[in-house]
Amino acid sequence: MGTKTIRDSYLPYGRQWIDEEDIQSVVNILKGDYLTTGPAVAEFEQAVASYVGAMYAVAFSNGTAALHGACFAAGIGEGDEVITTPMTFAASSNCVLYQGGKPVFADIDPKTYNIDPKNVEALINENTKAIIPVHFTGQPVDIDELHQLAKKHNLVVIEDAAHAMGATYKGDKIGSLSDMTMFSFHPVKHITSGEGGIITTNNEEYYQKLLQFRSHGITREPNKLVENHGPWYYEMQFLGFNYRITDIQAALGTSQLKKLDKFVDLRKKYVSLYNKAFKEIDGIQTPYQDQNGESSWHLYIIRLDLDKLSVSRKAVFEALVNENIGVNVHYIPVHLLPYYTKLGYQRGICPIAEKLYEEIITLPLFPAMIEEDIMDVIAAVNKVFNNYRK
């Protein structure tokens, strides 16, 4: 392959971008009266709700906790089935298990890699309670089709938009369209609060349940109390969790949100450079984009035509790592993970997703990259493909 690597230093597949304004926002909290849940949380929630066009937002300690809260608010319980995609992180289905429900995996669309509404419809039965579609890589799912199914079968739609902050569907921001929508603020996502997640909704009943669920199921609101012993009194009315986010995290999130549009624009710019460079490489399929949505590009995934290569996907992956390019694979289909196979899920239930998994590699994409980084990735991919093409 040659001794000289494309890069001298390692380029990760994703990374946060923190500036002095972000740092100062956290310092201000550290100098103030509230470190944990305080006024900064409410400010962050209002800012996110306003950005996506939703009436309410409830912030959580992380995206998984937020999804768990959404399943609770939706009334998911023992024996209930929730349809989701296998092409996602485990949290998208684990949140159903936390509530005693059963995740059901629908196969994906071969072009968009998002959950296929036709496959969803085939799996709906009298036990189905909700659908959790995932906007994979930031590309919005076919929301209208899923909403039609939900309306027809009286299902709750919880969008997992961990990849899709800043994305739009038919001109509307993701986050205000379904019953509930979850965003993640992990450092590799579009904006970060360190760890953190949020649910946006237009449903006041869900909003109230979410608020109480993230804090042990406890309320102090006088109009909700069964009894009232005095101003100190509170009641735990159901089994909730300690899923609260801190003011430290929320202040960082609010500061980051001001830069979201800039971050998304940079992602789109870098994607256009990738697409142009890889369009002519025999053996690479660049990401398809559905015309109804505009991706916010959390991930850039290339699909390999292994028939055109003399080596396996693993060899291509390792060769790129050897060039100091921090590639990754998103994702191992959830139903193939050992815990899920122990629950009885089997290979073969989602053949399109299973085949996709064997052929994809995630390339670095984050706003703190510079064009030189993009060119390094392109050069490395070209180098590896020139060496391994049949």
Q: Averaged over 248-268, what is the pLDDT? A: 98
| Residue 4 domain flag | no
* Mean pLDDT value across the chain: 97
**Which residue out of 102, 173, 189, 209 is catalytically annotated?**
189
| Residue 157 domain flag | yes
CATH of the domain at 281: 3.90.1150.10
Boundary-marking domain end, from 240, 257, 274: 257
| Residue 162 domain flag | yes
Report the pLDDT value the prediction gives residue 280, as an integer from 0 to 100: 85
Looking at the structure, do residues 158 and 230 belong to the same domain, yes or no? yes
Q: Assess whether pLDDT exceeds 50 at residue 1.
A: no
pLDDT in tens, 221-231: 999 999 999 99
Looking at the structure, do residues 242 and 336 belong to the same domain, yes or no? no
pLDDT in tens, 308-329: 999 999 999 999 999 999 999 9
Looking at the structure, do residues 252 and 267 belong to the same domain, yes or no? no
Boundary-marking domain end, from 257, 277, 297: 257
Report the pLDDT value the prediction gives residue 3, as an integer from 0 to 100: 64
Distance of CA 366 to the CA centre of its chain: 15
DSSP 164-200: -TT-EETTEETTSSSSEEEEE--TTSSS--SS-EEEE
118 is catalytic: no
Looking at the structure, do residues 104 and 230 belong to the same domain, yes or no? yes
Q: Averaged over 50-56, what is the pLDDT? A: 98
Looking at the structure, do residues 115 and 225 belong to the same domain, yes or no? yes
Tally the domains of the chain: 2
Looking at the structure, do residues 118 and 200 belong to the same domain, yes or no? yes
CB 323 within 8 A of CB 9: no
| Residue 234 domain flag | yes
Cα–Cα distance list, 172 to 138, 257, 261 (Å): 14, 18, 15
| Residue 292 domain flag | yes
What's the predicted TM-score (pTM) here?
0.97
Percent of the chain with pLDDT over 70: 99
Q: Averaged over 137-159, what is the pLDDT? A: 98
Boundary-marking domain end, from 236, 257, 278: 257
What's the CA gap between 85 and 20, in Å, rounded? Answer: 39
Looking at the structure, do residues 63 and 157 belong to the same domain, yes or no? yes
Looking at the structure, do residues 253 and 264 belong to the same domain, yes or no? no
| Residue 66 domain flag | yes
| Residue 269 domain flag | yes
Q: Assess whether pLDDT exceeds 70 at residue 127.
A: yes
DSSP 303-328: EE-GGGBSS-HHHHHHHHHHTTB--B
Looking at the structure, do residues 247 and 351 belong to the same domain, yes or no? no
| Residue 5 domain flag | no
Looking at the structure, do residues 180 and 150 belong to the same domain, yes or no? yes
CATH of the domain at 95: 3.40.640.10
Q: Provide the domain limits for residue 145.
A: 20-257
Looking at the structure, do residues 249 and 267 belong to the same domain, yes or no? no
pLDDT in tens, 279-295: 989 999 999 999 999 99
- Tell me 141's DSSP state: P
Strands (E), the chain: 56-60, 81-84, 102-105, 128-132, 156-160, 168-169, 172-173, 180-184, 197-201, 218-219, 235-236, 284-285, 293-294, 300-304, 360-363
Looking at the structure, do residues 273 and 218 belong to the same domain, yes or no? no
Q: If 0-12 CB within 10 Å is exposed, 13-18 middle and 19+ buried, where does residue 231 land?
A: exposed
